[in-house]
Chain A
């Protein structure tokens, strides 16, 4: 199967700290990849490098076979990569509907001026309905629970209509029922052809969702394989339990 995303030899240093060290992995078309690792392993940093929020000190990122290492974030997004954040980052003074609408906007100033930039409001409503926020369209972030905020974040990312979605701790702080809802939604999106890289500490939620898992520790790849293989891996056990 063709590789949708490939990172090769990524290294990122913050001062004297090596956050990512010569890391390489890939995501194939139609695949859901789990990215695991203990706290501080560098998972979010990997996401930030893929998105272009951070520039890697060395290494390359390829998407659909094109080198995107030096592209700005917005161009990567337009190519089809989107993300959610570990701590939800809603637009504080916007309603959830307005917030998600930003994700659906086309980049042209003229289109934005003439009101033709955003996807039809009905599309945005449908996405919000899909994530279970139909009743909360006119609410502001400070009126929502953590679960709702995560769903709104997911909705904004979906409004971009991505090919690959990077989910950072999407299940954190959610109730069991909320996790099940999100899980259902993600499965539906997978069937529709959306690819994911999922970072989660909730292994129970992660296990049935992912096709393959990559485990990193101190920014280095320590294991790769199916979820069942990974949890039996000695290096992974050592990284998690010492």
Chain B
């Protein structure tokens, strides 16, 4: 019953977003597409880091790898010289599989270390792949300049909007369902005290692995479609710390460990960066939003979602006049 009630809010959200193209300009719609992808990356990072508390700095590694695999294998990709060009319906799943596979291969062993050690290992992966994509076989990866002229999955602004919207809601609702299930509760408990969860008869490694695979899978899905939407990929964009920072800020400002929070955070970040453009130039824009983000993280660590929740709880308590749970 509670699930159906909550789904009702999702349906309202989907309905509102679906009619957006009727009311907004092309420029805003383009921003919405970027925001939809940012949301996918933010919620996927949230599943890994916000829920389990294992803060990953390697998320763009998964996104970029998925993007590179589909880019290299598709038309205009690095294998064209070898006459290997695969259709998108094959390259897209291969890109996603690469993200999941590489994630398991490289990150899983590092999940045996905790806290900052995990974060540093994940950051190392990001740095390494950045170098590798530039240095190893630039004839395939496009080197420093990357690959461009990649085929689009769909053409036109409105179809791309609906594609990104569909992906965003599919990923977000899927992760939201996991988050509110007992799996989510265990993963959150792991963040709070891993030893006690283990002492409750639960294999924390198994649940962390599940969260990580989900995170890699959704990062991969976002990565392949984003790459084809942009039509290009380069190490400077895919593996940059600025991209990593955007993902983390979206999630933390929205509210880590909530899925819904990072959705809001993704939109907030994308739009604020754009609308600050006329007032603040270049790096000042990034400086300003970074300061705002830091302020929020320090003083409101539960983000906008936490603020909204506090306000709702205040109203609810006033209405019920006492205890909420029974």
Contact = CB atoms under 8 A, between A and B. Distances in A.
Q: Do A and B come from one complex?
A: yes
Nearest to B203: A74
Nearest to A156: B200
Given A51-B199, A74-B201, A91 B183 contact: no
B7 to A, nearest CB: 15
Contacts of B207: 109
Contacts of B324: 138
Interface stretch (A35-43, A98-106, A208-216): A98-106
Interface string A189-227: 000000000000000000000000000000000000000
A115 B3 CA distance: 12
A75 B80 CA distance: 52
A95 interface: yes
Contact of A105 (B186, B204, B326): B186
Nearest to A137: B325
Interface in A67-85: 72-74, 77-78, 82-83, 85
Nearest to A96: B325
B183 A107 contact: no
A114 B180 CA distance: 11
Given A105-B182, A113-B181, A82 B199 contact: yes
Given A94-B189, A112-B183, A113-B181, A89 B325 contact: no
B193 A77 contact: no
B203 A89 contact: no
B215 to A, nearest CB: 15
Instruction: For chain A, give the interface size range.
Output: 35 or more
A112 B190 CA distance: 15
Contacts, number: 88
Contacts of B188: 91, 93-94
B192 interface: yes
Interface in B286-326: 323-326
B178 A113 contact: yes
A112 B186 contact: yes
Nearest to B177: A113
Interface string B124-150: 000000000000000000000000000
B210 interface: yes
B325 A91 contact: no
Interface of B: 178, 181-183, 185-186, 188-189, 192-193, 195-204, 206-207, 210, 323-326
Nearest 3 CB-CB pairs, A to B? A138-B325, A77-B201, A112-B182
Given A74-B198, A103-B200, 17 more contacts: A53-B195, A72-B203, A73-B195, A73-B199, A74-B203, A77-B201, A89-B196, A91-B193, A102-B185, A102-B200, A102-B202, A105-B186, A109-B183, A113-B178, A113-B181, A117-B182, A160-B200
9 contacts: A72-B198, A74-B201, A95-B325, A103-B200, A107-B203, A109-B183, A114-B181, A138-B323, A160-B200
